[in-house]
């Protein structure tokens, strides 16, 4: 089984019976995120994004890694998009997304299809807006996908990311996780599900955080950042799955939220990004670089392997 198929199988299973709890599911965490995004006036991610559009409605949108379709239905409901294309690698997720779209009378406005993030086949000069909602960090061939998106977007289009942009799975080390382990070790024994905090590398999903640490670096080669809001996750995303919250004291989560914010001030693991495609020579440069760079990396790996 290839990594792509393994990742798709993981998400098919996860949709049927969820095994991974998100740090963002906690109401107190959600309130903190809204505050970090909105500032003086707390805002959920979607509200912040809509507030930046100044009433603009996009004719045709694309959602990459759509899952069960919540984003597409919300974009139609809030009049952000008139119509949407959306794809995912999980067939079961797509079935649920189509069913929900029909239920909400959006079936004729949202087109779902199965596709591989790493082998994009998108029409040129078609989309007015492209969405990633916690899906881009599952992409191994970032350059190929970014290039395909750049070519598929109209010149005045918008790119929206709500993403994990923290360390890639290969970047984690004992040194990097040392501050997390120090906090984890300080927790009461009855709260910790394990005695020792392992590296946060998700073995059952080989696509998880495969190149997340490169998302912003590669993005800025061919896109101009228009707005960005960091919302943390540096500590909580790592510790949350290994804490027994049924035994946690009431003050634990607020304390961890504050520690998370301190860590995020030095570089956030999660962020909202609004960007626009580069034009002219910079667009040409990005297309060439995204085409050439992966090939050069393969050549260098082959040379290193033979040496």
Cβ neighbors of 266 (< 8 A, separation 6 or more) are none
**24 membership: H or E segment, kind and range:** none
Nearest partner of 243 among 57, 90, 23, 10, judged by Cα = 23
Are the C-beta atoms of 271 and 231 separated by less than 8 Å? yes
Express each pLDDT in 15-26 by its tens digit. Answer: 555 556 799 999
Give residue 12's pLDDT.
56
Give me the helices (H) in 208-268, please: 215-222, 236-239, 252-264
pTM above 0.85, yes or no: yes
> Does the structure show a pLDDT above 50 at 2?
no
Please report, for residues 80, 250, 296, the alpha-carbon distance to residue 56 in angstroms, rounded to integers and kept in the order given: 7, 43, 41
Please report, for residues 49, 68, 222, 256, the alpha-carbon distance to residue 133 in angstroms, rounded to integers and kept in the order given: 12, 12, 20, 25
Count Cβ atoms within 10 A of the Cβ of residue 97 and give its class: 0-12 exposed, 13-18 middle, 19 or more buried: buried
At 11, the pLDDT band (50, 70, 90 cuts) reads very low
At 1, the pLDDT band (50, 70, 90 cuts) reads very low
Are the C-beta atoms of 60 and 80 separated by less than 8 Å? no
């Amino acid at each position: 089984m290839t990594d792509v198929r393994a990742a798709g199988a993981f998400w098919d299973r996860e949709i049927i019976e969820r095994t991974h709890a998100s740090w963002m599911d906690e109401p107190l965490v959600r309130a903190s995120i809204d505050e970090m995004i909105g500032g003086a006036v707390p805002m959920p991610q979607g509200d912040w994004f809509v507030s930046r559009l100044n009433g603009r409605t996009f004719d045709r949108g694309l959602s990459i890694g759509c899952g069960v379709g919540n984003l597409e239905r919300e974009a139609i409901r809030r009049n952000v998009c008139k119509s949407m294309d959306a794809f995912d690698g999980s067939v079961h997720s797509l079935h649920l997304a189509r069913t929900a779209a029909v239920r909400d009378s959006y079936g004729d406005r949202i087109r779902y299809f199965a596709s591989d993030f790493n082998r994009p086949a998108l029409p040129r000069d078609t989309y007015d807006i492209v969405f990633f909602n916690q899906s881009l960090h599952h992409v191994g061939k970032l350059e190929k996908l970014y290039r395909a998106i750049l070519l598929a977007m109209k010149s005045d289009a918008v790119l929206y990311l709500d993403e994990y942009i923290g360390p890639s799975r290969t970047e984690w080390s004992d040194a990097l996780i040392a501050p997390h382990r120090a906090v984890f070790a300080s927790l009461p024994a009855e709260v910790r599900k394990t005695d020792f905090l392992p590296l946060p590398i998700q073995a059952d999903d080989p696509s998880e955080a495969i190149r997340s640490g490169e998302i912003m670096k590669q993005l800025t080669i061919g896109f101009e950042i228009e707005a960005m809001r960091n919302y943390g996750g540096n500590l909580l995303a790592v510790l949350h799955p290994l804490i027994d919250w049924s035994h946690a004291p009431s003050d634990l989560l607020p304390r961890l939220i504050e520690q998370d914010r301190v860590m995020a001030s030095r570089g956030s693991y999660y962020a909202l990004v609004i960007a626009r495609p580069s034009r002219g020579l910079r667009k040409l440069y990005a297309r060439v670089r995204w085409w050439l760079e992966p090939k050069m990396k393969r050549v260098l790996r082959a040379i290193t392997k033979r040496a």
